[in-house]
Amino acid sequence: MSKIIQENGFRVIASEGLGRASNTTAHSVAFFRGQLYVGTSCGSVTGSSDSPRILRFHAEDGEWETVYESPLVPATKRARAPDRQLAKNMKGGLDFSRFKKPSETDSNLVPRDAGFRSMCVFKGRTDAEPALYVSCMSRFGGQILRSEDGVTFEPVGEPGFGNPDIYSFRGLTVLGDRLFTAPAGTTTDEWLDRNLAPEVRVYVTDDPASGRWEVASPEGFGDPANMAIYALATAHGMVYGGTANPERGMQVWRTSAEGTAPFTWEPVVVDGAGAFNHNLAVTAMTEFKGALYVGGGITGFGYDTVHDIGPASAEMIRIHPDKSWDLIAGRMRFTPDGLKVPLSLLGPGLDDFYNSVIWSLGVHDGVIYLGTHQWEAFRSAELGGADVVGGYQLWASEDGENWQVVIADGHGNPAEIGVRNIASTPLGLVIGTNNQKRLLQMKARRSGAKVDFNGGFEVLLGQ
């Protein structure tokens, strides 16, 4: 009997951003002290009504509690700087009059944080018990929050680890008694890039409560063309790091983290696994049945406007302990490692051009799940005419090669364009989504397309 949770096994436990539709994404998930925590994020924070939150789920009655909300701080020039990827993606296709304008009461105060990108339960050297660590996205410099009880959260360390141009830190990852992370995004007075960081390196600590972190890798793993470290994961007793490289495509590196930092890293996969920069970035990684599954592609609409790369659709590979690898889904090709044929018989985008990346991967009860970023709704809204269609897809496999769609079309809402998080918990499989209703409305203003879907993230629980 299959262990795959089918669509009817999922129920929505949070919808419409839990009363705050501007909270577009259920960005991070953790299970701490017997309860489920979700960190939200907001695409554009202009005032107190947009403040992202850390939410706690009470399974016994299905209620949610806000345990932390971003504090408000005086607005600065960088608080209003444009998002350069968004501006280029939407150029000529957005009616900017639909953007929410800050009110007079909100204009001088904005949320410090734009969201909570990563969560991890970890017991550091000076922690009396395991604590919940949370990575913040902030135009004022990303920070790490710490909580001992799941109610009180305090920042530990300086914004950006001393570099306030670092927007956030991604992929809080545990190996043994150490915690790893990597900078994500750049914030300046002129522009914001949510993904490409001013430092391309991994950091490590055995005592995050102290706020002291050490550099754990060479800059860019020694390759100046690596523009960011997009993902971290553990497999085979090692830490793996996946990069974004607009010149030659994504790379995967690994270290056993022996001795003292910085550690020795070795390349595992380079040149976009033979697809070059059409596999621009590693977007998700997870270990399943002794192998590391790696999702790649070009974030956003499958076209990198800053570096003029694409269009392309998502691919997935599988890495074994000896560094050999298989193509699971993608374009058949010859590589220095031989002919690679997709073992799933699925082509780029899992046979859907609009699946730009595999945005999340997770394992639950012996099954691997993947969630896509699917942008068809934007194209549909731009063209007008027929109903807007599209939405994320959730796929599952019991062996990593034979895959089936579990949820399609954003679970009935085309504005639900991505699965941002997949987490196995004692309550069941938790799915956190990304909703872009506001941007779709702006895109549809010129075409007249009807966008009457719910806004705000959803959280689904599969059992």
Query: Domain coordinates of the chain in residue numbers?
Result: 7-462
Span 347-374, average pLDDT: 99
| Confidence grade of residue 457 (pLDDT, cut at 50, 70, 90) | very high
- What's the CA gap between 252 and 267, in Å, rounded? 6
pLDDT at position 47: 77
| Confidence grade of residue 100 (pLDDT, cut at 50, 70, 90) | very low
Going by C-alpha positions, the residue among 243, 299, 304 that lies closest to residue 270 is: 243
CATH number, span 7-462: 2.130.10.10
User: Token match 């005419």: residue?
Assistant: 385
Span 237-241, average pLDDT: 99
**pLDDT digit string, tens, across residues 219-234:** 999 999 999 999 999 9
Which residues have a Cβ under 8 Å from the Cβ of 285 and sit 6 or more positions away?
Answer: 231, 232, 233, 235, 240, 242, 252, 292, 293, 294, 295, 361
What predicted TM-score, i.e. pTM, was given to this entire model? Answer: 0.95
Identify the weakest region by mean pLDDT among 8-12, 49-53, 163-167. 49-53
